[in-house]
Amino acid sequence: MNGKDYYKILGVDKNASQEEIKKAYRKLAQKYHPDVNPNNKSAEEKFKEVSEAYSVLGDEEKRKQYDNRLRYFGEGAQRDFGYGYRPFDFSDLGSFSDLFDFFTGGRTATRTMAPQKGSDITAEVHLSFEDAVKGASTRISVNREEICRTCTGSGAQPGTHPITCPSCGGRGISAINQGFFALSQVCGRCRGQGVIVEKPCPSCRGTGRVTELKKLTVKIPPGVKDGTKIRLKGRGGAGTRGGPAGDLYLITRVAPHPLFKIRGDDVEIELPITFAEAALGAKVTVPTIDGLGNVNIKAGAQSGDVLRLRGKGYPRLGSTGRGNMLIRLKVVVPDKLSRAERDLIEKLANLHGKNPREEMLRKARI
């Protein structure tokens, strides 16, 4: 091997900490990795050189021996550098993501063997407008993973037990050693589980879980709207190796109401009134989400005017507050009149005499 300064290759000081060395290597390995630089021989050689440097400096004992050689023999110490080093076989590296399992000690496999939370479930629940406003308890059916009752979750046939994986010794990870370079990966034989089920349970086929149709009673809080997402913690699929159950997410579907329209936290209703009520003013009965109520209409009301009842609107989810009730007036003109009604309206028109378009026509003159 030609003389090389591993510190210069990694771009670190000779007094650099292991964390600094690891950080420098990770940055350079990411920069020159062939997955990032396909068909680039120069980058591939650089990557091998960087990996070679880290295989020595990243190991405290090997770095100590290397530093001693530098101290005693100077820059020529790198020539014929021993410690059992063999040429770097790039083909053994695997994917870019596998490379960085080295830094995490096979973190992927470790997660696989640890207790795992069960899967989350999403289900729709259909509600009437009234139930959405006031809240309700309702029954739903969901497909949910449950612990297999036959094998109690072990995955093994009753009377048998899973055995420790002989390939990884129950660790769930295996290592590819390449000189100073050690790459951790998920054990291919047990798939990271650390155990092998030789005789699978006939009920769950070795998975330890079965999918069952479950009927659940769920409580819907007041104030949900169409599309609201509610999380029910711990009501999802069963966990693995003692892990917690997943969560159940409910998506509410609220049936529209024939009268009330939702406008954010406000509830809007269109209130028909007669010509006489609009002209003279009146006290009229109006439906609200709390039942029937009364509102006062001022004389001279117009179609499109909005009356506001504060705090009488839609409940705010998760609080005691409410929006407003918006009452939009609509003056209803009869489409048919009796002779007596026509005579009265004609008299009114003559008495009033004012053209409501007069100002508009004046402004329109050029």
Give the per-residue pLDDT at 182: 54
Give the per-residue pLDDT at 366: 56
More confident residue, 102 or 117: 117
> 312: annotated binding-site residue?
no
> 210: annotated binding-site residue?
no
Top CATH class, 121-162+197-252: mainly beta
Give the per-residue pLDDT at 76: 46
- Give the whole-angstrom CA distance, residue 66 versus residue 350: 113
Point out the least confidently predicted range of 11-25, 63-77, 119-133, 306-320.
63-77
> 359: annotated binding-site residue?
no
Point out the least confidently predicted range of 47-61, 220-234, 322-336.
47-61
| pLDDT tier at 107, thresholds 50, 70, 90 | very low
- Give the whole-angstrom CA distance, residue 270 versus residue 258: 11
> 358: annotated binding-site residue?
no
> 237: annotated binding-site residue?
no
Average pLDDT over residues 13-34: 89
More confident residue, 309 or 183: 309
Average pLDDT over residues 123-133: 96
For residue range 56-72, what is the model confidence (pLDDT) as tens digits? 898 888 888 888 777 65
Q: Taking a C-beta distance cutoff of 8 angstroms, is the pair 325, 266 a contact?
A: yes
Top CATH class, 6-79: mainly alpha
More confident residue, 36 or 265: 265
Reported pTM? 0.60
Kindly tell me if the per-residue pLDDT of 301 is higher than 50.
Answer: yes
Share of the chain above pLDDT 90, in %: 50
State the DSSP string of 95-142.
-HHHHTHHHHTSHHHHHHHS-BPPPPEEEEEEE-HHHHHH-EEEEEEE
Give the per-residue pLDDT at 71: 66
Give the per-residue pLDDT at 177: 58
Fold of the domain spanning 257-365: HSP40/DNAj peptide-binding domain (2.60.260)
User: Tokens 């406000």 belong to which residue?
Assistant: 266
- Cβ neighbours, 10 Å, residue 355: 9
Q: Do domains 6-79 and 257-365 have the same CATH topology?
A: no
For residue range 338-364, what is the model confidence (pLDDT) as tens digits? 999 899 888 888 887 778 888 888 888
| DSSP assignment letter at 237 | S
Q: What is the mean pLDDT of the chain?
A: 84
Query: What stretches of the chain show up as alpha helix (H) in DSSP?
Result: 6-10, 18-32, 41-57, 60-73, 96-99, 101-104, 107-113, 129-134, 275-280, 339-352, 358-364
- Give the whole-angstrom CA distance, residue 121 versus residue 98: 31
Point out the least confidently predicted range of 12-16, 177-181, 187-191, 209-213.
177-181
Kindly tell me if the per-residue pLDDT of 111 is higher than 50.
Answer: no
Kindly tell me if the per-residue pLDDT of 87 is higher than 50.
Answer: no
* Strand order through the sheet with 229-232: 121-127, 248-254, 229-232
Kindly tell me if the per-residue pLDDT of 322 is higher than 80.
Answer: yes
Task: Name the residue ranges covered by the structural domains of the chain.
Answer: 6-79, 121-162+197-252, 257-365
> 128: annotated binding-site residue?
no
> 151: annotated binding-site residue?
yes
> 190: annotated binding-site residue?
yes
- Give the whole-angstrom CA distance, residue 127 versus residue 101: 48
Give the per-residue pLDDT at 191: 80
Point out the least confidently predicted range of 179-193, 220-234, 286-300.
179-193
